[in-house]
Amino acid sequence: MATPTIVLVPVWGVGHFVPMLEVGKRMLARSARPLTITVLVMPEPSRAQRASEIAELIRQEEAAGLGIRFHHLPAVDPPTDHSGIEEYISRYVQRYAPHVRAAVAGLACPVAGVVVDIFCTPLFDAARDLGVPAYVYLIASAAMCALLLRSPSLDEEVPAEVEFEETDGGAVVDVPGLPPVPASCLPSGLENRKIPTYKWFVYNGRRYTEASGIIVNTIAELEPGVLGAIADGRCTSGTRAPSVYTIGPVIPFAPPPPAGQAHECVRWLDSQPPASVVFLCLGGSGWTTVPQAHEIAQGLERSGHRFLWVLRGPPEPGSKVPTDGDLTEQLPEGFLERTKERGLVWPARAPQKEILAHAAVGGFVTHCGWNSILESLWLGVPMVPWPLGAEQHYNAFMLVAGMGVAVPMKVDRKRSNFVDAAELEGAVKALMDGSKAARKVRERTTAMKAACRKAVEEGGSSSVALQRLCEALVVGAVLPKK
């Protein structure tokens, strides 16, 4: 019998494509029986720079000879109107269903399963028609999984014209296994029940219950409450939820550069005392307006602490990729001179993982993308949340209230996530000055670093979950119907 293959269907974009590939590699390495990986590649609908990054990744993987094959799907017309990226992805991949079906049906080997990305559940129809098991992979938290599973029943419980339950602190949402979630912290699109994106959230959450399993990039020790709530049906109104496989943290690390070729940011950190630098980076897509940059500069300067600040400028017209920062335009006059002994402002992309791994870094002001959160936990760096969009406000709430690995900072979501200088100053001081609350955050972060390392070792929770997943996939392998 031919070797079974696992079909992976990531959405475009490095932040989704790389973690999905990494999961495939781990399944190849962990499976007790031979497997191959088939990746269905959807063309990037825009942003040629990102598309070239994906092309280079594919070239590298094909050259490595690890049993990963790439099948490029034909282009389809993307939606021309949408109310949010979640609606856009869901409708876009819906148009790919015939192509996915044809690609899987054309495989000459048994298919162990089709693993789709977070908002790609419209592709479940193609898998069902072919008689192939369908799984969903979340590059997000178990808390996000719980919210998606909960969303259909939450939608039924609260009429469309009624806001979520009001308390003295504002509207809250009940997600089993979590503290009451402020409605203001819900993911973009899910907080506004009057737009189409909201309906696509609920649609995807409903379809999650059809999956043969849900693969989550987390560790069991990080989110035990929500994982327990999912397992016992509290997130699905008593209906049995699919098996959840916590296989994280899925973090690809490149080998360090040769001696003498370290990045300039890393060389600067080499001259700083241990745990003395706060690292401020708002992700690969985050950029800063001039007024906001002035507030950040004032907050960092007044905090008195050492800092490494990645400052990016607005994208070019028609692009979503930030430009290199213009330090002359974006920074207050004299700021660089006044802080040159204790700060570095870097105006371009920076090697985030290398920076977080450096002994001089003692805190991380982060946009709360889940990949960045996992990197910070893996490397034991406590955080200050500065969410910008997507599910990041929800992640920020969880970091503080659910996991205890971050110091809170007030971010004004209604003002495009603006942060005042005094707020940043206070958060940096709270984290870096060694207060009792900060010590607890550091202790919790250190414990999570140890838990992450243990989870991926032989016999650890993620290692065992990955083994269970591989066994379930191999057992379920079938020849797709034609």
Q: What whole-number distance in Å separates Cα of residue 188 and Cα of residue 393?
A: 8
Q: For residue 240, what are the contacts with CB-CB under 8 A and spacing of at least 6?
A: 233
Structural tokens at position 260: 């003498």
Q: How far apart are CA 132 and CA 350, in angstroms?
A: 42
The angle at the Cα of 228, spanning 474 to 446, to the nearest 5 degrees, equals: 95
Chain-centroid distance of CA 482 in Å reads 36
Helix pair 461-475, 14-30: axis angle to 10 deg: 80
- The interaxial angle of helices 142-157 and 224-231, nearest 10 deg, is 50
Catalytic site includes residue 358:
no
Q: In sequence order, what DSSP letters do the residues of 420-441 get, joined into one string?
A: -HHHHHHHHHHHHTT-HHHHHH
Cβ atoms of 35 and 470 within 8 Å: the answer is: yes
Q: What contacts 171, CB < 8 A, 6 or more positions away?
A: 163, 164, 165, 182, 183, 184
Sequence-distant (≥ 6) Cβ neighbours of residue 255 within 8 angstroms: none
DSSP 254: P
- Which residues is 172 bridged to in the sheet? 182
**Measured distance CA(130)–CA(258) in Å, rounded:** 49
* 117 is known as an active-site residue: yes
Burial class for 175, CB neighbours closer than 10 Å (0-12, 13-18, 19+): buried
> Catalytic pick from 16, 99, 367, 393?
16
End-to-end Cα spacing for the chain: 18
* DSSP character at residue 478: B
DSSP state, 236?
A: G
Do residues 231 and 244 touch, judged by C-beta distance below 8 A? yes
Give 193: exposed, middle or buried? Use CB within 10 Å, 0-12, 13-18, 19+: buried
- Catalytic residue, chosen from 82, 99, 117, 155, is 117
DSSP 375-417: HHHHTT--EEE---STTHHHHHHIIIIIS--B-----BGGGTS
Where do runs of H (alpha helix) occur along 272-380? Answer: 290-303, 327-330, 335-338, 352-356, 370-378
Active site residues: 16, 117
